[in-house]
């Protein structure tokens, strides 16, 4: 059963503590993760939970610095939980932990703004470093996944060569293009950015013009097909 537990380690309860929620549906593995993290006195475990829905509730309630999410969980998957948290735009940084070395999952994670990606078979070595790095505002990827990171960067560079108009997009146009890639409507984008629907439509038209895209759905298709490589 999901539960919210305060950390019993008073040494970790300092103003500079890194406050963490751990979500994994396997109790033995979850407690192992917590044990690894509690070896460092700067880490404070705010809660441990066993499903994605409770993880979202814990983040909303406790506002940790970092949440560690297993990708496969009941109620909500780690991907779905991360999507909700990403849309809500809170300050909590996300680390995925998974048993699967899967490039599509990896790219989905980075598309959702996930800052850390740790494989379960290297969690004992990587998780503590990952939590510290992510809490400090940098990204941490298990070293065995470096090929995925290189491939992502390579495909991004190739896309910019194929579509040089990407470099001509303004900061607002880039942001809107990424939101289009998330399948958000112009109305949703306008609401989130605090601008008018017509302004969003004008930005979308400018994006299509700069990218030499024609047709009513061409921008949506381009954004969706290349969402992992838009910078």
Please compute the mean of the pLDDT values over residues 149-165 and round it to a whole number.
76
pLDDT score recorded for residue 149: 67
Residue of 100, 89, 4 whose CA lies nearest to 45: 4
Model confidence band, residue 13 (pLDDT cutoffs 50, 70, 90) = low
For 43, the token pair is 């880490």
With a cut of 50, say whether residue 195 has pLDDT above it.
Answer: yes
**What pTM did the predictor assign?**
0.66
pLDDT score recorded for residue 1: 42
Helix (H, G, I), strand (E, B) or coil at 134: helix
Q: Can you state the angle between helices 52-62 and 78-88, rounded to 10 degrees?
A: 30
**Rounded-to-integer distance, Cα 135 and Cα 25, Å:** 23
With a cut of 90, say whether residue 181 has pLDDT above it.
Answer: no
pLDDT score recorded for residue 11: 46
Q: Order across the sheet with 18-23: list the strands.
A: 43-49, 18-23, 66-70, 93-98, 116-119, 140-141
Helix (H, G, I), strand (E, B) or coil at 96: strand
Structure letter (DSSP) for residue 182 = T
Please compute the mean of the pLDDT values over residues 20-41 and round it to a whole number.
92
Instruction: Report which of residues 161 and 207 the model is more confident about.
Output: 207
Residue of 139, 102, 100, 105 whose CA lies nearest to 120: 100
User: What are the beta bridge partners of residue 49?
Assistant: 23
With a cut of 60, say whether residue 155 has pLDDT above it.
Answer: yes
Contact 110, 151 (CB under 8 A): no
Q: Domains of the chain by range and CATH?
A: 10-143 (3.40.50.2300), 153-229 (3.40.50.2300)
**Rounded-to-integer distance, Cα 174 and Cα 193, Å:** 13
Q: Which helix (H) or strand (E) holds 141?
A: strand 140-141
Lowest mean pLDDT of 31-35, 79-83, 165-169, name the range.
165-169
Model confidence band, residue 12 (pLDDT cutoffs 50, 70, 90) = very low
């Amino acid at each position: 059963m999901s539960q919210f537990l305060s950390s019993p380690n008073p040494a970790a309860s300092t103003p500079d503590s890194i406050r963490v929620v751990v979500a994994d549906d396997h109790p033995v593995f979850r407690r192992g993760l917590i044990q690894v993290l509690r070896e460092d006195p700067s880490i404070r475990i705010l809660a441990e939970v066993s499903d994605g829905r409770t993880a979202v509730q814990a983040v909303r309630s406790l506002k940790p610095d970092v949440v560690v999410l297993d990708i496969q969980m009941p109620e909500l998957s780690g991907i779905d939980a991360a999507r909700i948290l990403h849309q809500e735009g809170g300050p909590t940084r996300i680390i995925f932990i998974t048993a699967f070395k899967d490039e599509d999952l990896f790219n989905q994670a980075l598309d959702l703004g996930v800052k850390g990606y740790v494989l379960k078979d290297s969690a004992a070595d990587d998780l503590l470093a990952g939590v510290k790095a992510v809490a400090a505002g940098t990204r941490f990827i298990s070293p065995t996944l470096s090929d995925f990171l290189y491939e992502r960067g390579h495909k991004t560079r190739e896309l910019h060569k194929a579509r040089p108009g990407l470099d001509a997009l303004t900061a607002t146009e880039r942001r809107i293009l990424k939101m289009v890639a998330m399948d958000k409507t112009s109305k949703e984008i306008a609401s989130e950015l605090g601008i008018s629907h017509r302004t969003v439509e004008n930005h979308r038209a400018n994006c299509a013009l700069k990218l030499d895209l024609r047709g009513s759905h061409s921008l949506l298709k381009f954004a969706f097909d290349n969402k992992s490589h838009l910078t």
